[in-house]
Chain A
Amino acid sequence: MKNKYSIFSLIKNAFSYHENWEKAWKDPEPKKQYDAIIVGGGGHGLATAYYLAKKHNMKNIAVVEKGWIGGGNTGRNTTIIRSNYLWDASASLYDHALKIWEGLSQELNYNVMFSQRGVMNLAHNLQDVRDLKRRTHANRLNGIDAVYLNTEEVKKFCPIINTSQDIRYPVLGGTLQRRAGTARHDAVAWGYARGADEMGVDIIQNCEVKGIKRNGDKVEGIETTKGFIKTKKIGVVAAGHSSVIANMVGLKLPLESKPLQALVSEPVKPIIDTVVMSNAVHAYVSQSDKGELVIGAGTDDYISYSQKGSHDIVEGTLNAILELYPIFSRMRMLRQWGGIVDICPDASPIISKTSVKGLYFNCGWGTGGFKATPGSGDLFAHTIANDEPHKLNAAFNLNRFVSGDLVDEHGAAAVAH
């Protein structure tokens, strides 16, 4: 049993100069066999293992991660959490996650620094205005909080925005979801890892999957850099590398992996207390608790696994940021990086069984997976444990690309992908 984090444990450990905190998770070598193995130790993978152990009583499970946990896209995103999606299926999926976020720090006994500071999406042309109003109505019909703001209300909510009508893409209005916000991305991975570890899940880092062994149409185990591990159920949550794993069993997925970039500025005093996203000019900005501006750019147009991305994408985003926020003109940028995102043709995720028995995929989150982390883990755990999707992820199956029943969130999801 792990010690509970509290004000008392903080005081107690202060006496030993914080040098004797117990490890949040063990670093075990893999066993010979598990009831289920999760491939990918990011937020989604760790959440899946956590809910498999907690809600489905599967304790003999492992998470294998080729690097260190939370070192992929979990540590590379801009931490935006919202659920204002257009279609019913997506709205219920993302709002399921948002509801878990609201109690997550208490549940995990780990402060994920979830901050419901609101997310505002801007409209810059008449079509944006129509689309955003339509989405606001759709959200409210689905019980998701959403309001439409006119230009003055946008200015009032976030005073540093340039609402002059003389700029190239003037602000004509926006939508606001007040329950939306941000969370500390690393803490999400660490909190789930600690919780899963406590229930007996083995978190195995530096363990890359090299192959999947199958017997006919069933899986038998995985070949890894730490040897062969036997299992009957494999849940793959490998984000940008999903296709690489799928190709190991000769499956093709409807995915393209592309670099998505983000950057942070030097830290400054509090200047923006919300998250502002702009679809048309492709610039997102919020401020971290350390004071850095966290800026999200767009994806490159070509397939790449290089985790770099092109300079012209960053240049375009910063042009837009400077026009919308002239106050940032002398800010200096501290770091820039890229993550590899797996984009589906309909910009919706896949949480699904496959044609291979015992092989499950949770992928295709594209540019916006972080917000769904708790919900994605919960639903994927349900799918693996019962060999059947939950009703909330039934629409997000692989077969939709055959039946044509797509969940088309391209351009509708309040963000350009």
Chain B
Amino acid sequence: MFLINCPFCGEREQSEFKAGGEAHIERPKQPTELSDDEWAEFLFMRKNIKGVQFERWNHAHGCRKWFNIARDTSNDQIKAVYKMGEKPPVK
């Protein structure tokens, strides 16, 4: 368990949040044009990084807003918190 600094509510326990998996996977702009391989890539294939990963979180038991986090998955340390639509921090 760790603490997450919600950009809207401040620091709260991780159990208040719902993890939304890998961030910055863009929904296909033209779904009808997609091949089966591209659908598989969008729906299922994940980087599943050991190290710093960009991911989505939802403050499910708080403000219920979505936001992004850069977190080191090898030790659960959060490197940065940034809002939806913002570009990921470079490092």
Contact = CB atoms under 8 A, between A and B. Distances in A.
Interface of A: 241, 243-244, 247, 252-257, 300-306, 308, 310-312, 345, 401-404
Interface in B21-56: 21-22, 36-37, 39-41, 43-50, 53, 55
B45 A252 contact: yes
Chain A CB within 10 A, most for which of B18, B19, B55: B19
B50 A345 contact: no
Given A253-B48, A256-B46, A303 B21 contact: yes
A306 B74 contact: yes
A300, A303, A403 interface centre (most CB from chain B within 10 Å): A303
A138 B67 CA distance: 43
B47 A402 contact: no
Q: Which of A255, A256, A306, A311 neighbours the largest number of chain B CB atoms within 10 Å of its CB?
A: A306
Given A257-B48, A302-B19, A402-B37, 13 more contacts: A243-B46, A243-B47, A252-B41, A252-B46, A252-B47, A256-B46, A302-B55, A303-B21, A303-B22, A306-B74, A306-B75, A401-B45, A404-B36
12 contacts: A243-B47, A252-B46, A302-B14, A302-B55, A303-B22, A303-B49, A303-B55, A306-B73, A306-B76, A310-B14, A401-B43, A401-B44
B37 to A, nearest CB: 6
Contacts of B40: 254, 401-402
Is the interface on chain B under 10, 10 to 19, 20 to 34, or 35 or more residues? 20 to 34
Nearest to B45: A252
Contacts of B74: 305-306
**Would you call the interface of chain B mostly helix, strand, loop, or mixed?**
mixed
Nearest to B2: A310
Contact of B76 (A253, A308, A401, A402): A308
Interface of B: 1, 14-15, 18-19, 21-22, 36-37, 39-41, 43-50, 53, 55, 73-76
B44 A303 contact: no
A310 B46 contact: no
Given A312-B1, A402-B36, A403-B36, A304 B47 contact: no
B36 A305 contact: no
Nearest to A399: B40
Given A303-B21, A304-B76, A306-B76, A312 B48 contact: no
A364 B53 CA distance: 20
Contacts of B36: 402-404
A241 B74 CA distance: 11
Contacts of B45: 252-254, 401
Nearest to A243: B48
A250 B36 CA distance: 19
Contacts of A308: 76
A310 B1 contact: yes
A397 to B, nearest CB: 12
